[in-house]
Chains A and B, each alone.
Chain A
Amino acid sequence: MNKHLYLRAYLAGIAVPTMFLLVAVMPGYTILRYVFNFPVPVERVIMFPMAVVPNLWGLWNIVFVAWREKLRMPIGLHGLLLVFLLAPLGITLVSLLDFSVPHIVLSALPVLAPVALIAYYLAWKYLVNGLNGVLGIA
Chain B
Amino acid sequence: MSDREQNQNEDRELEQMRNLLKSAVPPRIDAEPRRDLWPQVLRRLDNAPERVPWWDWVLLGGAIVAACAFPGVLPALLYHL
Residues of A within 8 A of B (CB): 1, 17, 20-21, 24-25, 28-29, 32, 45, 48-49, 53, 83, 86-87, 90, 102, 104-109, 111-112, 114-116, 118-119, 121-123, 125-126, 129-130, 133-134, 136
Given contacts A17-B81, A53-B81, A126-B50, contact A112 B76 (CB under 8 A): yes
Given contacts A133-B44, A134-B45, contact A116 B62 (CB under 8 A): no
Q: Separation in Å of the A11 CB from the closest CB of chain B? A: 13
Contacts of A86 in B (CB 8 A): 80
The B35-71 residues at the A interface (CB cut-off 8 A) are: 37, 41, 44-45, 47, 50, 52, 56, 59-60, 62-63, 66-67, 69-71
Contacts of B62 in A (CB 8 A): 114, 118
Given contacts A25-B78, A48-B79, A119-B63, contact A105 B44 (CB under 8 A): no
In the assembled complex, 16 residue pairs joining A and B whose CB atoms fall closer than 8 Å, in A order, are A1-B37, A25-B81, A49-B80, A83-B80, A87-B80, A90-B79, A107-B70, A111-B70, A114-B62, A116-B76, A116-B77, A118-B60, A119-B77, A121-B59, A122-B63, A126-B50
